[in-house]
Amino acid sequence: MGPILSTIIGAGIKLLCNLLNNWLEQKRQDQLLLAARDEKLIELISKNQESQARDPFVKVTRRILFMSITFTYCFLMIWYALNPTVSYDVVIPKNGGAGFFGFIFGSEDFKVVQLTGGLLLMSFVDLVFMVVGFYSLPSRRR
């Protein structure tokens, strides 16, 4: 009975290995199909970006946005330097905005703080440089 049982166990192991290999091969084929689809999609997006980057209207609007944001920021820096008494009232939550999810839950108590123009401008300096960098640097990656 030993050789027959060993043969059945060996055949069962061989059958399980074949099923596992077929399953793994199907997963690999699915991944290859998805990769090919993604590659075509990326190629189409790249071609679309190239055609838009060459579009004169896009170039002009990017430059106009870059220059208007930069000139506005420079004007405000000079204006607030020459007029240091300019201040703004800003409403903020009293309890710190209810933590990380304060933008969802909000707050019931508010207080008014006064900011000078320069302080208000400084709170937006990172955003300004990010937007200016986005509009001023052309993307050469294809």
Q: Residue 129 has which token pair?
A: 């440089």
Cα–Cα distance for residue pair 72/80, rounded to 1 Å: 12
**Closest CA relative to residue 90, chosen from 62, 111, 64:** 111
pTM of the shown model: 0.50
Amino acid at 24: L
The answer to whether the CB of 65 falls within 8 A of the CB of 86 is no
Q: Is 94 helix (H, G, I), strand (E, B) or coil?
A: coil
pLDDT tens-digit readout, 53-111:
677 787 788 888 888 888 888 898 898 889 888 888 888 777 665 566 666 666 677 78
pLDDT of residue 9 exceeding 70, the answer is yes
**Closest CA relative to residue 10, chosen from 99, 2, 34, 56:** 2
